[in-house]
Amino acid sequence: MSGKPSTRPGGRSARVQRSVHEAVRELEAEQGRDDLTVPRIAARAGVTPSTIYRRWGDLRELLADVAVQRLRPETPPDDLGSLRADLEHWAVAFLEEMSSPPGRAHIRDALAGDPDGDNAGRCSAYAVEQVETILARAAGRGEPAPGTDTVLDHLVAPMMYRILFRPGLLDPRYARELVTDLLDHFTTTP
Amino acid sequence: MSGKPSTRPGGRSARVQRSVHEAVRELEAEQGRDDLTVPRIAARAGVTPSTIYRRWGDLRELLADVAVQRLRPETPPDDLGSLRADLEHWAVAFLEEMSSPPGRAHIRDALAGDPDGDNAGRCSAYAVEQVETILARAAGRGEPAPGTDTVLDHLVAPMMYRILFRPGLLDPRYARELVTDLLDHFTTTP
């Protein structure tokens, strides 16, 4: 329903987005999410409720937009000198972050406000970006490596499936085992 | 929040569940889901709103319970005589059903009403049941096969991840390729 929020930095549009996102985060921290309403968010952000409805459509879409923003990685993945080490390190951190209670809540919000898959697609694009950084480094080192889609299918997807559908089955060892399976079975020389 | 709906057949509790679920499905078909409210559902089902609140907690939890019920497979997977054929057939049907607009809506509902993972866990349990039926047949035929968790990680999870996060990338060939990768890489003799 809602248009893609523009992110031209410095413009009025970007200022509105920043203050509304900040209002959501503050109110959520202060009062919990069950009491969030568009009028309260608007009052805190210093905009009119109709500004929010016009831009985001409804509360669910706004929460999805805020959630996706929070799932955005802040830094590129660490470079530990080998593909295996980079993937293991990244996967363990991804599993830990996404399976934490706030991580889960953000994933659920991103999926909920999402009849056409836009917000969830942005989450997946973040993972693609991180994986591609790791794979580009491996290529630079001349290491054999799987392709991006293979990493998504056999490393990211299993972790996300367990986080969403089988939350009892998660520990860092699981992430490492997936990396081992991935590199044992799906590696092709460059 | 809500307790697990009891399913003792024939009891009052089972009758209430049946009529409330039916009311949700009818009203959704007649008026679309955006107009669903607990009082309307209660009126159609012939129960009081407080019966619904007491049993399900809120509308979101009720919709999640209905969604999970609809995702329940009605029959065991077809037996086509070999593990590969059974898995391909089941995976293609799973992908088609879950990626359809109603399939997606039910998955989203199941995940939304789900702070503790109960409803999503029931969805996953359905997949486990179907996969285990297929694997038990393979064992009966003496075929080498992967384990249940491996099928979930490398066949079910990638399909579900694409359905939720990368909806552009789905066709029956994708399901078949995953089966090929799974059987090529993760098969152990019985």
- List chain B domain ranges: 12-57, 72-185
Share of residues in chain B with pLDDT > 70 (%): 91
Cβ of B152 within 8 Å of Cβ of A158? The answer is yes
Residues of A whose CB is below 8 A from B173: none
Average pLDDT over residues A3-20: 73
- Written in H, E and C, the secondary structure of chain A is CCCCCCCCCCCHHHHHHHHHHHHHHHHHHHHCHHHCCHHHHHHHHCCCHHHHHHHHCCHHHHHHHHHHHHHCCCCCCCCCCCHHHHHHHHHHHHHHHHHCHHHHHHHHHHHHCCCCCHHHHHHHHHHHHHHHHHHHHHHHCCCCECCHHHHHHHHHHHHHHHHHHCCCCCCHHHHHHHHHHHHHHCCECC
Chain B residues closer than 8 Å to A108 by CB: 111-112, 114
pLDDT of residue A108: 86
Q: Give the one of A112, A121, A156 whose C-beta lies nearest to B108's C-beta.
A: A112
pLDDT in tens, B82-108: 999 999 999 999 999 999 988 988 898
CB burial of residue A84 (10 Å; 0-12, 13-18, 19+): middle
Cβ within 8 Å, pair B108-A114: yes
CA–CA dist A98, A104 (Å, integer): 6
| A89-130 confidence digits (pLDDT tens) | 999 999 999 999 889 888 988 888 766 668 888 899 999 999
Least confident of A10-24, A158-172, B111-125, B167-181: B111-125
pLDDT tens for each residue of B111-161: 887 666 688 888 999 999 999 999 999 999 999 999 999 999 999 999 999
Superfamily of domain B12-57: Homeodomain-like (1.10.10.60)
B161 → closest Cβ in A108, A160, A166 = A160
Which of A114, A117, A158 is opposite residue B157, by nearest beta carbon? A158
How many Å apart are CA A115 and CA B62, to the nearest integer? 20
Contacts 24+ apart (CB under 8 A), B34-41: B36/B63, B38/B62
pLDDT of residue A2: 42
A188 versus A100: which is more confidently predicted?
A100
User: What DSSP assignment string belongs to chain B?
Assistant: -PPPPP--TTSHHHHHHHHHHHHHHHHHHHH-GGG--HHHHHHHHTS-HHHHHHHHSSHHHHHHHHHHHHHS-SSPPP--SSHHHHHHHHHHHHHHHHHSHHHHHHHHHHHHT-TTSHHHHHHHHHHHHHHHHHHHHHHHTT--B--HHHHIIIIIHHHHHHHHH-TTS--HHHHHHHHHHHHHHS-B--
Judge whether B162 and B174 are in contact, CB under 8 Å: yes
Amino acid A1: pLDDT: 39
| Cβ-based contacts of B177 with chain A (< 8 Å) | none
CA dihedral angle for residue B99, residue A114, residue A167, residue A125, rounded to 10 degrees:
90
CB neighbourhood size of B89 (10 A):
18
Best A1, A33, A60, A161 member to test B by mutation, with max B CBs in 10 Å, is: A161
Give the residue, B169 or B40, on which the prediction is more confident: B40
Q: Is residue B76 less than 8 Å (CB to CB) from chain A?
A: no
Question: Which of the pair, B79 or B186, is modelled with greater confidence?
Answer: B79
Give burial (CB, 10 Å; 0-12/13-18/19+) of A110: buried
The separation between the first and the last C-alpha atoms of chain B, rounded to the nearest angstrom, is: 43
Say what the pLDDT of residue B11 is.
Answer: 82
* More confidently predicted of A89 and A190: A89
Please answer yes or no on whether A112 and B117 come within 8 Å at the CB atom: no
Which residue from B185, B187, B113, B125 is spatially nearest to B156, judged by alpha carbons? Answer: B125
The alpha carbon of residue A10 is apart from the nearest alpha carbon of chain B, in Å, by: 30
- In 3D space, the residue among B63, B178, B144 whose CA is nearest the CA of residue A158 turns out to be B178
Please state, in angstroms and rounded to a whole number, the distance separating the CA atoms of residues B150 and A44: 48
CA diameter of chain B: 57
How large is the ipTM? Answer: 0.87
What pLDDT does A9 receive? 58
Interface of A with B in 116-175 (CB under 8 A): 117, 120-121, 123-124, 152-154, 156-158, 160-162, 164-167
Residue A143: predicted pLDDT? 94
Overall average pLDDT of the A63-75 stretch: 90
Selected residues 2-61 of chain B with any CB under 8 Å from a CB in chain A: none
**Burial (Cβ within 10 Å: 0-12, 13-18, ≥19) of residue A71:** buried
Distances in whole angstroms, Cα of residue A186 to Cα of each of A69, A150, A151, A175: 32, 7, 9, 16
The model's confidence at residue B169, banded by pLDDT at 50, 70 and 90, is confident
pLDDT at B9: 58
Question: What would be the CATH architecture of the domain defined by B72-185?
Answer: Orthogonal Bundle (1.10)
Q: Could you tell me which residues are beta bridge partners of residue A188?
A: A145
Which CATH number describes the domain made up of A73-185? 1.10.357.10
Task: Look at B63 and B112; give whichever has higher pLDDT.
Answer: B63
